[in-house]
Amino acid sequence: MREKEFAKNWVQLKRDEIKSFPGDFLSSSQTDEIKLPGKVLILGSELFGTYELLDEKGNEFLKVEDIYKAKYILYANMNKPLSIKCPVHPEEIKSVVKSYENYLDDLLDQIKKEFKSQFPESKSFPEISNYIFNSLNLKRH
């Protein structure tokens, strides 16, 4: 098996098993609804403790006071919904984001372990892992 085949097989095998954010990580019934633009958002700069969320053209969409809330919105926006449910309490937002990031890190470790066992001399793991994450619509901020 070649490296590209490894990546494609991994994507096919795991596509249906991938957890959804925030649904599979959110347990709170106390949420606020946040309206989203239905397009890609990126993390802008931090200024005096406020984080900007920008659209692809660099236009400001939203400012938030907490990096975890910014990450929460970015992760929840991966499929470009028009609105999301966001926990009311900052500590729960942080917990949900950390849980999701741990999930992504574990997934990456699993990919790396399998990749290294099949291709111990290869140096192309970054490209393969990027391909897998992009194919599964995953991103780690």
pLDDT at 1: 73
Query: For 83-99, what is the mean pLDDT?
Result: 96
Sequence ranges of the domains in the chain: 3-135
**pLDDT for 13-71, tens place per residue?**
888 899 999 999 998 779 999 999 999 999 998 889 899 999 999 999 999 999 999 99
CB 87 within 8 A of CB 31: yes
User: Degrees (nearest 5) of the Cα angle 27, 31, 35?
Assistant: 125
CA 124 to chain centre: 22
What whole-number distance in Å separates Cα of residue 79 and Cα of residue 44? 19
CA neighbor of 65 nearest in space, from 78, 88, 46: 46
